[in-house]
Each structure stands twice: as C-alpha cells, then as structure tokens.
Structure 1
Amino acid sequence: MPQPIRLKDHEKDSRLIRQRAVVGAVAFLLLTMVLIARMYYLQVVQYEYHTTLAENNRIHVQPIPPSRGLIFDRNGVIIADNRPSFSLTLTRERAGDWRQVLDEIVKVLELSESDRALFERRVKQGRRPFEPVPVLFELTEEQIARIAINQFRLPGVEVVAQLVRHYPLGEHFAHSVGYVGRINEKELKELDAVAYSGTHHIGKTGIERFYENELHGEVGYEEVETNARGRVLRILNRTDPKPGKDIVLSLDVHLQEAAEAALGGRRGAIVAIQPQSGEVLAMVSQPSFDPNPFVTGIGFKAYADLRDSIDRPLYNRVLRGLYPPGSTVKPMVAIAGLDSGVVTPQTRIFDPGYYQLPNNTHKYRNWNRNGDGWVDMNLALGRSNDTYFYALAHKMGIDRLHDYMSRFGFGQQVSLDMFEETAGLMPSRDWKRARYRQAWYPGETLILGIGQGYMQTTPLQLAQATSLLVTRGKWIRPHLAKTIKGEVPVDPNPIPDIVLRDPSYWDAARKGMEEVTHGARGTARKVGDSAVYRIAGKSGTAQVVAIKQGERYDRSKVAERHRDHALFVAFAPVENPQIAVAVMVENGESGSGVAGPVAKQVIDAWLLDQNGQLKAEYAPPAAATVTAP
C-alpha cells in the first residue's frame, strides 16, 4: 500500500530561519561590541602605554661617551691625547644573524680568517643590550667607501667617528702613564652601567688606571629618531658629556729621555725624585714597549712576543722589580745604629778583611779581602766596609734593625699614586717563622746589615729612602701627578716622619755618602771627580746567585744573566739637594763602575745648563754675612 506524501511546512521552516537569523545577528552584534570594546581599551584606555611603545621604536636615547682627559708632562708636553678615528660597529639586536653579517664584513673588506675570529670574540664579550660593539678600528677611506656601497648587506653595522687614546711618545712612558684597553666582562660587571654607557675603554695600568675616575669624565645623551632599520634620521635632543680632567705629571720628557740614554739599552731601572716635593722627575724601566697597540686590541703574536720575551718588557722594574739592595742601604743602617745608641760617629773597629760571631769559626767576608784596618763610620761608608756593618747589625739585632728600616719605607708601599707598586720584603723573626717555620739566626742579621739575605726592595723604595736622607726624615710620598685639573693631589694616608734623638745623625750619614764620591778612598770617587757640583752617593752590588764560602766571584764562570746587579743611589748638590736618584742595572756587576756613571748622567741632565755649568737656581745658598753694629 503506497505511503502518504508529507507536505512541506513552510511556516515552520520560516520560523527556524528567523530564529537562526536572530541568533546570528545577536552573535554578530556581540562580537562587534567585543571588538569595539577591545579597540576602545587599546586606543583610549591604554593610549599612553602604546604611544610610548611606538615612540620607543621610533625614538632612542643614545649615550655620548665623554672625551678622556689629557695627560701632560711638567712642561706641557702631551704624553697621552685623543685622536679621531673611524670605527666599524655592530649592534647584535639589529643585525639578525650577526655571524652571517660578520662573514659579509670579511668579504666586503677582504680580511683574513684571523680577523673574523677576532671580530666574533669582540662581539661575544660582555655588553649591554642594543649597545654598538666596535669590531674594527682605524678604518681607511677605502674601507669606509666599501661599507657604504654594501650597506644594504650589513644590517646593524655602522661606521662611527670617535676619539681613540693615543700615546705620541710611545714606549717612553709605557710603565708610568700606562695604557687603556677594552672593557672586559669582569670590569663590565663592576663598573657603573650608567657612567660607562657608550664607553668601550678603561685604564688598565699606570696613571691611566689609578686616576680612571678623574680621566673618564661624565657621559652625555642624545634622543634620536630612527627608521624601521634603526638608522638615525634626526637628533631631537642632546645633553653634552663632560670631558675628563686633564692631568699634569711631574715627569720631565727631556730628563726621561736622558735617563733612557744613560742606560744605553741595558736592562734596568732609574727613578729620579725631587726630595722636597716628592715629585717623580723620571721613571725608567728598560726594556719598554709601545702601549698604542693595546688601545685597539693587540694581536696574538705581538702580545705573545712581549709576554714571552726573556727581557720582560711588560715588567715594570721600578715598581715591581724586587732586588737585594746591597750596600745602598748602609747609610740607613748607620742612622739606625746611631739613633739606637749602639755606635757613635767616632766608634771604630778593626777590619782584618772579615767578621766572626763570638764562638763561631765562620768568616763573613768584607768585599776587600785584605781589610781596611781601623775604620770609623765615615770611612766605613766611604769604603763600603762590610765588616763595620756586620758588627753594627750584630749589636743592633734583627728586631731593632727591622723597626728602623721599616721607617724608611722598606717592606711597604711608599708611593701616592702608583697602582702596581709592590711592598718588597723587610724580613723579621715573625716573618721567617711564618714563612719557613724556623728561628732567626744571628748570621742572617749580619748579611741583612749589608743589604743581602732575604731583604728585597724596589728601585722606587731606594729612591725614597735616599730622599728621606735629604729631608732629614720628613716623609713626602713620591707621586707622579703634579696637578689634576689645576689642583695638587693630597695624601690621604701620610706616613709618620722619622724623628731621631739627635738631628746631627742625618749629617753623619750624608757626610759618609759624600765620602763615597769625593773621599780619597771612596768607592765611587770617579763619579765625584767628574762632577762640577758636590754629589753624595752610595754604590751597591747585589748577588743574583750565591757563591760558596771562601770562593771569589769570577765573572767568566757565571752566565750573563746570573751576574751581580749594579746599584747606585745619590743626591745633589750636597749643599742644596734638588734631585735624588736610584739606579739599578741588571747584571751590571759594579755599582760604582756601571750604575754610578748612569746616576751622574741623570743628575747632570737635571742640574746643568747647555754650557755644562750648574744652573743658577740650583746654586748653593749664599752664606749669610754678619755686619758689626
């Protein structure tokens, strides 16, 4: 039987369609309202926030590094300046695949793979976000043109003009002024991020490091508008940086060159000080090196050659070189003996050529094996008689000897502004017990009395101790900075003066030093005979390797670098001292024969005029005349 045919209910279908249309319209309306609400929230409620984001994408604040303060010698000669240079910088955040960009730079400039490795190491170094990193310094005009032509291939790369530290006198002041170098990761963590924004170099050694805060200056800023690729379109606002303070050093270029010439290419150190002011007039450590390559980054091979050189050009012998002072400390030991009351200037001993401790057969030899007979303090200093000072040291004992020698600055840092200075070593009972777990022996006191044994000093300490003889114990710490932006540096931690029971003891020691250079039997009388002024000095010879008891020194059997060091300290003119000098010639063997003439040449360069005569301002003070009433 056929099924009935169902008729379509148009009314029902119409209702369903109307319902769906209403639901769709409501849903559409709701979505539209949500969209409008979201737009309102973003554009009205959060207007300032998103405006700031947009502005930050368009406007950037860039730091302007300050120009580093200049460094001059005492006569206004520039020792360290800043010269303009074009550098290639890379900003990693704007470069995308920055390694590929480095590859493009190498191709464009036709550089080597070693340059590519150096660039990557520089980019990987610690840095702040969005800070351009210099990868190549001192671009040539051709390199600048190549970068400009290929700019579209080098996102995040810019050629910028900046001031770079330069040392026009090269190696002459490498050990005193020092140099600046790139900020490393450790320094980046320690430095003030704001103060060093945009700065890529910092003082590494010498004056550059000690006075970093003064030389650096204050950073400036500028607001710039950039395009989507980060290129600067215009400068909107600018705050100029404050340049670092200029420093005038007490060093004298001409005296420095004269001192270097006096050394004649030998390994050694020279320090010249103006005793009354503590100003260091010359500071020479030879051999030296050119500090300029360290500013922009020295190559691996060049640095290895300096680091591994047997002559150690990077080693500052003035501040870090430790040497037995030898007989140069005998004037200070003499003052110690006088003030402690164990001897007087007239005390005499008989020298048979050696000294023996009571109930001991060991002979401590005088350098003159035949002996000098009866000697008092003046002759003992003039002849540099070891036997006299063996006896004096034994009478004093190690405790008093250590105390007095420490007052002269031995075993401590003496400078005011020399960052790398080492303290040296002034041994004592406690030191030996802590170091070797042994008692102090009387024989060690004897050899300490002639500047041998454990005692280690720097050339700067010897120069300062000599200056104290001039100032009669008044402590004025040696310093390199004469003025900082016109202001004289102040010693924040002054060292107490040396006060003796009788001030005439200073005269006794100074008279003995004058006997060295002008006495009939003085060990350095050739130095005094050739001078047009009175000079007081003391020679010293310091052993590098020990020789056996009873043996004599034979230079032909000793390697050149194992031969004795030659030392000499002096001040002049005796009547009106203007300069104190300490000279150390490594393996020079003879203090009076090698180091003495070097010291005299340095003093001549400071005291004499072009005609070889004593300058008028350094002449001895005129004797006062007394007229009858």
Structure 2
Amino acid sequence: MMEVLDSEAEQSRFRLRVWVVGAVVLLAFGLLVWRLLVLQVVRHEDLSERAESNRTAVVPIVPNRGQILDRNGVVLATNYAAYTLEITRSKVKDLEATIDELATLVEITPRDRRKFKRLVEDSKNFESLPIRTRLSDEEVAHFAAQRYRFPGVDIKARLFRSYPLEETASHVIGYIGRINQREKEALEDSEHAANYRGTEVIGKLGIEQSYEQDLHGLTGWEQLETSAGGYAVRKLGSRAATPGDSLVLSLDIRLQRMIEQLYGNRRGALVAIDPRNGEVLAMVSRPAFDLNLFVDGIDQESWTQLNESMDRPMLNRALRGTYPPGSTYKPFMALGALELGARRTDTVVQDNGSWTFGGHTFRSGHPNGPVDMHRAIVKSSNVYFYQLANDMGVDTMHDFMKPLGFGQLTGIDVRGEARGVLPSQEWKRNTYKRPEQKKWYAGETISLGIGQGYNNFTLLQLAHATATLANRGVKHQPHLGLGKVDALTRRYEPLAQPAGIDLGYKPQNVEAVRRAVAAVTVEGTARGLFMGAPYTSAGKTGTAQAVTVGQKDRYNAARLSEYQRDHSLYMAYAPADNPTIALALIVENAGFGAAAAGPIARRVFDYWLLGQYPSEEDMASVRAGQARTPMGQPRRANDIPVPSDSIALEGLPRRPLPDPFPPATPEGTAPATAPGNLRPPNAAAAAATAAAAAASAAWVPED
C-alpha cells in the first residue's frame, strides 16, 4: 500500500515539474516572439537605418572658398592646394617622440612646433592637426615609405588661402583661421551647422569675416559603401560642393598701395570715398601686417611681436582708431551755425590771437583781425570757433553733428567699427562716476568748437561727413562690397545698397561752407599744396593734440617724444564743383596738417583725377615729410604693375583712369575727355606748376 502511495506522489511531483518546465519554455518562447516583434516591426525602420549607416559612410566635401578682388578684378585673396602632415593625438602614445621621429623624415622647424602646440591647446584630442604644411613631393614620398611606423599620422591634401599682396589692405581684407571651440558652438546652434561639416577654417577679420557666408560656398558630400574594417568599397552617391562666390570690393588696390607707400614707416590712416554712392576707394591703416602669417596658423613669436609693438600694427586705425579732428571740424561747425541760426555768413568776430572765458585764456596761435565765416574757415581762426561753440552749447552741437555721423556707427560692411565720442551732457553723466565729474562745465564747451576736448572720432566718420558735405548734404552709407561673381556662371552682379539720405540742409548754407573750403586750397592754410593742379579741390587742414599742453606753456615738438607730438590731419574732396572723391587722413605725431597729411591728399587726387602716379623722388620726399607740390616726372598710374593676377569679368563696371599725358590739343581748346571741372592744361597752369616748387619752399603752414 505504501509503495502505491509513494508512486502516486512521485508521479504528481513529476507532472508538476513538467508543467513548470513547460511554463518556463512557453514563457521563454513568448519573450523571444515579443523581442522579434519589437525588432522586426516596432523598430524596423530605426534599425534598418543604423544597419545601413554601418555599411555606408557620408563624407563631406569642403567647397573651394571664393576669391576677393578689387574693383578692377585684381586678385586680393585666392586659394592653392598643398599637402599637410597631420597628427591625431588620440591615436599617438608619445606625441613628442613621434614628432622627433617625423623630423628625421621631413623638416620640422621650431616655428612648426610652436604653431602645433598652439593648435593642440585649442583643439580636441580626436581632431587631426597639421604639424607641417606645404610639403614637397619628395617629402610626401619619404613619409609614405615609412608610414607604417607612425600610427595616427597621415598625409592630407588641403586648400590654403593665399594673399598675393601680403600686407597691402591687410586690415580691410582680413584673414581666415582654424575654427575655435567658441565658433564651433556658435555654428552648431545656427542654421549653417550642416554647411560647415568638414570645414576647418572660417573668416576671422575684415572682409573674410563679414562676407563669410558668401565666400564659404555650399558643402557637398559622398556616400560610400564600407567594408567591416571601415574601408571604402564603392561610391553610392554624391553631390558636388559649390564653390563660394567671389567678392568684388570697391577698393582700387593700386591707389591703396600707393597711399601705403606714401606713408612709409609713419603711423596713420586714410579713408577715401566716392561721395556720390558711398563706395570706399581706399581704406589705409599704417603700419600693417602680412596676412600670409595667418594662413596656416600664426606662431606665438610672430603673434607676440604684432601685439606688443608700440606701433600696434594689428589696430585698424581707419575703423577703430579714434582721434580729435582738430580744425577739420570747423567747416561742420560753420554749417551747423548757419542751419541753426547761430551765425550769419557776414557776422564778423575780432580775432586778436586768443580769447578769454571764465578766467581761462584759449590761444589761437596768431591774430587774424576781423573775420567773417568765410575768412574764419580759410584762415582757420580758433577765436571765431571758440565763441561759436560757446554760443551754441554742447548739446546743440551734439544734436547737429549726430546725423552727419560723428560719434555714430556708419554701418560699413566690415565688423569692428568704433563709435568714438560725440560729447553731450548726457554722455558725461553716463560716463563718469563721481558727482563732480558728471557735471558739465561751460569751459569744456569752448575747445569742442575747434575739434578738441572730448571730441574723438574715427577717420571713417570724418571721411563720411566730408563726403556728405561734398555731395551737398546727401549722405550715403559707406561700403566696401561692390558686387559678387557667381561661382557657377562667373557673371558679376552688383550688391544692393541703401538709397542716399538727404539731411535737408538749406542749399545756400551748404554752398557758403563749400566756397570757404574751396578757398582754403587757394588762399588759406592749404594754398601751397595745390599750386599748378589742373583741377579745383576743397579741403581743410587740421592739427590735433596728442597730449594736453598747459595754459602757460608753448608747444615745442622738439622737446616732446615722438608719440606726444601733434597729429597731422586733412579732409578734402575734388573736383570742387562736382566731386568724385572725398577723403580724410591722419599722420600720427607728424605736426601741421598741411605739412604731412595734405601732401598725401594731393597725390591721391592726382591719381584719381589725372591718372598720375608719383615719381620715386616725390614718394621719398612725401615719406620724409618734406614734400609740398609733386616733384619729378609723374608716371602713368595704369603703367604701375600690381604683383597679383587680374581677372576679366563680364559685367564688371571698370573706371579707367585718365591718361596723364594725352595727345596735344590746339591751344585754347579743351580735351574732349576732361572729367568734371578739371581745367585743361594751358600756359597759366604750366607757369604755376613751374613756380610751385620755389613757392612752396618758402611757404609756412598756418594751422
């Protein structure tokens, strides 16, 4: 009986175990079916894409960067292909030892090592960084034969930027550089993120930065089938990269180079504008720097030299340097007085050489006697404008000068423009901290009338205001971009520009000031500069203090260090009646405006209006600060070579320079091509030219 019970209990336990095992097996199959359902149905599309991506790779194709050209098609920035030797740090065990070994195969200089170290500091471990650029074919072959010894090191073909004219217009053109971490993050958050895959460089300064999106182009791609080891097997599809558009600037690079050579080693800036449309014809900042230093990453030694130099070559003086305008401010003060009713043209002021206000004597240099507005501008009477500033008041001056662009951003199409200072009572309250500093004192207003005191403007602002005066009160936004050349069609298309703004000045007031600044070059402080010129011009000299001179002290340049001496300024336009060029310039610490700045302006006008390029003798004289009227035989500007290629473009509006030596015409008749109000050569002009050198030798500037 017991045996039967034991047998039944054992069978019962066996059946239970069978049910448990069956349930486990059924559950396992259920889980398997559920997992298959998830993989095959629910996640089918996602897993299919991932499998495909493991089988294929999409490689970005970086576009060729667009060129930068001047208004005549001269190449200012272009590209070239070269091999680079690159290291991926994450794949290299001992970086220094690897570089030492590489140096036995290819030349690696200390400068290369310094540049590489700087790149390492700014990049991530998995990025490929160049230790050498522009390898020769022999160097490529030497490394290729030993490549197996250097895991993580490879040869790559890359495009490099080239600046054929080196430091010419360096501040305007700018340069490109490796994309840093901050720029990467900004790109990732922008709509351009996809277009910069594979791109390693970006515009850092100047036009290269401002027109980055136009110059960069559209990134292409190749879809490749890969093996299990990650090697490409075949190409599945592709889209070619679209090169960036080329950008045509309004600069005349031959004029730009001439001005830079006229400055020589002196510091300063010049901006020349076409007053009819705002095109910037030249934007000079001296000293400059070689753009090619930045092509493959500047080394620390060169960077330190540029940044620690007292001459500050990296500073764009035309755009960011701010200076008191000195007497070049007086024509605009006169225009404000007429427009606001503070003066009439025939109001006479007695100039005894100084003016006392509130116990302080403001000096004028020399007495001019009774002066009306015309004579005050021509003779540069400080006393006249001291009294005018006092009568107008600081806030009235501020409100009139603001629309002219003083102390305002002009909106030019290059970044980094400085605002400068156009003082007002509100400006002072917001600028200073202590209560006694916030208060505006009446005596502070006086020096503003002659362009001193708190006044500080850029040369671009002064040139912009001069162009507005030249254009009879119609203001155009200054711009460097003239047009684009489509990368595919190679056709030129002009860039749209905003319409000019009429500031609403009364014509008779504008003409009164224009007559006065035209007389400056005939009978005033610039009379020695334009003797014999076959065109009329208008201008105003200026001398601005670099350091304050005490009330009882006299300025003596010989007793001051170079950097403490007065600045030399000039603003002008020509031809006087129908201007096609307006400019403002400064030569730092060079003294009288007519002595250093004015002669440069004369050569600029001779180039633009006559097609003349100064002789070597004359250029040396200007650089030495010893020139007045041109000396020696001028050259044809069109014959002066520019060390860069020139591209002929369909639709590019060229402005041919006049021939300075046209065929002789019968006496008493004018050449058919005489532009504007240029005066044709005649006996009187020839005699004036012959006498100019002797006259200028005895001429003493008065500003």
* TM-score, normalisation: structure 2: 0.78
C-alpha distance in structure 2 between counterparts of 1:275 and 1:552, whole Å = 39
- Of 474, 494, 499, 1:488 maps to 494
C-alpha change, 1:613 and 1:397, in structure 2 (3 Å) is farther
Q: Is the 8 A contact 2:140 2:155 kept in 1?
A: yes
Letter in 1 for 2:451: G
State the shift of 1:496 in Å.
4.7
C-alpha change, 1:124 and 1:62, in structure 2 (3 Å) is farther
The worse-fitting range, judged by mean Cα deviation, of 609-618 and 320-329 is 609-618
1:355-376 CA distance string (max 9 Å, x none): 123xx332111122xx110111
C-alpha distance in structure 2 between counterparts of 1:251 and 1:112, whole Å = 38
User: SS of the counterpart of 2:386?
Assistant: helix
C-alpha change, 1:229 and 1:291, in structure 2 (3 Å) is farther
Q: Is the 8 A contact 2:116 2:129 kept in 1?
A: no
Instruction: Name stretches of at least 5 consecutive residues in structure 2 with no aligned partner.
Output: 1-13, 486-491, 612-635, 637-658, 663-670, 680-703
Paired position in structure 2 for 1:364: 362
C-alpha distance in structure 2 between counterparts of 1:136 and 1:226, whole Å = 30
C-alpha distance in structure 2 between counterparts of 1:401 and 1:50, whole Å = 72
Instruction: Name stretches of at least 5 consecutive residues in structure 1 with no aligned partner.
Output: 1-18, 623-629
Q: Is the 8 A contact 2:73 2:248 kept in 1?
A: yes
Q: Does 1:499 align with 2:495?
A: no
Paired position in structure 2 for 1:145: 141
Letter in 2 for 1:289: F
Letter in 1 for 2:677: P
Q: Is the 8 A contact 2:175 2:203 kept in 1?
A: yes
Paired position in structure 1 for 2:608: 606
- Of 75, 79, 102, 1:78 maps to 75
User: SS of the counterpart of 2:407?
Assistant: coil
C-alpha distance in structure 2 between counterparts of 1:158 and 1:491, whole Å = 47
C-alpha change, 1:118 and 1:362, in structure 2 (3 Å) is closer
Matches within 5 A, 1:389-404: 389-404=385-400
Q: Does 1:618 align with 2:675?
A: yes
Q: Does 1:68 align with 2:65?
A: yes
User: SS of the counterpart of 1:137?
Assistant: strand
State the shift of 1:532 in Å.
2.1
C-alpha distance in structure 2 between counterparts of 1:455 and 1:354, whole Å = 21
C-alpha distance in structure 1 between counterparts of 2:66 and 2:115, whole Å = 29
State the shift of 1:156 in Å.
4.4
Q: Does 1:280 align with 2:274?
A: no
Q: Is the 8 A contact 1:104 1:153 kept in 2?
A: no
C-alpha change, 1:190 and 1:222, in structure 2 (3 Å) is same
Q: Is the 8 A contact 1:394 1:445 kept in 2?
A: yes
Number of residues paired by the alignment? 588
Paired position in structure 2 for 1:430: 426
Paired position in structure 2 for 1:442: 442
State the shift of 1:106 in Å.
4.2
Matches within 5 A, 1:171-570: 171-192=167-188, 193-227=193-227, 230-357=230-357, 360-368=358-366, 371-436=367-432, 437-485=437-485, 486-491=492-497, 496-500=501-505, 502-519=506-523, 522-570=524-572
Paired position in structure 2 for 1:13: none
C-alpha distance in structure 2 between counterparts of 1:549 and 1:356, whole Å = 11
Q: Is the 8 A contact 1:102 1:120 kept in 2?
A: no
State the shift of 1:152 in Å.
2.2
Matches within 5 A, 1:134-173: 134-173=130-169
C-alpha distance in structure 2 between counterparts of 1:44 and 1:477, whole Å = 63
1:156-199 CA distance string (max 9 Å, x none): 44322222111111100211011111100000000143121011
State the shift of 1:393 in Å.
1.1
C-alpha change, 1:338 and 1:141, in structure 2 (3 Å) is same
C-alpha distance in structure 2 between counterparts of 1:161 and 1:233, whole Å = 21
Letter in 2 for 1:581: L
Paired-residue identity, %: 43
Paired position in structure 2 for 1:4: none
Q: Is the 8 A contact 1:280 1:478 kept in 2?
A: yes
Letter in 2 for 1:586: E
C-alpha distance in structure 1 between counterparts of 2:559 and 2:385, whole Å = 29
- Of 97, 101, 105, 1:107 maps to 101
Moved over 6 A (4+): 46-51
- Of 597, 600, 619, 2:599 maps to 597
User: SS of the counterpart of 2:542?
Assistant: strand
State the shift of 1:125 in Å.
3.9
State the shift of 1:506 in Å.
0.9
Q: Is the 8 A contact 2:113 2:131 kept in 1?
A: no
C-alpha distance in structure 1 between counterparts of 2:555 and 2:113, whole Å = 56
C-alpha distance in structure 1 between counterparts of 2:99 and 2:603, whole Å = 54
Q: Whose radius of gyration is greater, 1 or 2? A: 1
Paired position in structure 1 for 2:91: 97
The worse-fitting range, judged by mean Cα deviation, of 422-431 and 573-582 is 573-582
State the shift of 1:382 in Å.
0.7
C-alpha distance in structure 2 between counterparts of 1:295 and 1:421, whole Å = 24
The worse-fitting range, judged by mean Cα deviation, of 430-439 and 474-483 is 430-439
User: SS of the counterpart of 2:174?
Assistant: coil
C-alpha distance in structure 1 between counterparts of 2:495 and 2:86, whole Å = 38
Letter in 1 for 2:56: I
C-alpha change, 1:296 and 1:345, in structure 2 (3 Å) is same
Q: Is the 8 A contact 1:99 1:120 kept in 2?
A: no
State the shift of 1:617 in Å.
5.5
Compute the RMSD of aligned alpha carbons: 3.1
* TM-score, normalisation: structure 1: 0.86
C-alpha distance in structure 2 between counterparts of 1:404 and 1:50, whole Å = 70
C-alpha change, 1:230 and 1:298, in structure 2 (3 Å) is farther
C-alpha distance in structure 2 between counterparts of 1:44 and 1:352, whole Å = 99
Paired position in structure 2 for 1:626: none
Q: Is the 8 A contact 1:101 1:154 kept in 2?
A: no
1:266-292 CA distance string (max 9 Å, x none): 111111111101111111111100111
The worse-fitting range, judged by mean Cα deviation, of 246-255 and 259-268 is 259-268
1:554-612 CA distance string (max 9 Å, x none): 11111111100000011011122111111100001110111100111111111113364
Q: Is the 8 A contact 2:476 2:501 kept in 1?
A: no
C-alpha change, 1:613 and 1:571, in structure 2 (3 Å) is farther
Letter in 2 for 1:248: V
C-alpha change, 1:49 and 1:572, in structure 2 (3 Å) is closer
State the shift of 1:101 in Å.
6.5
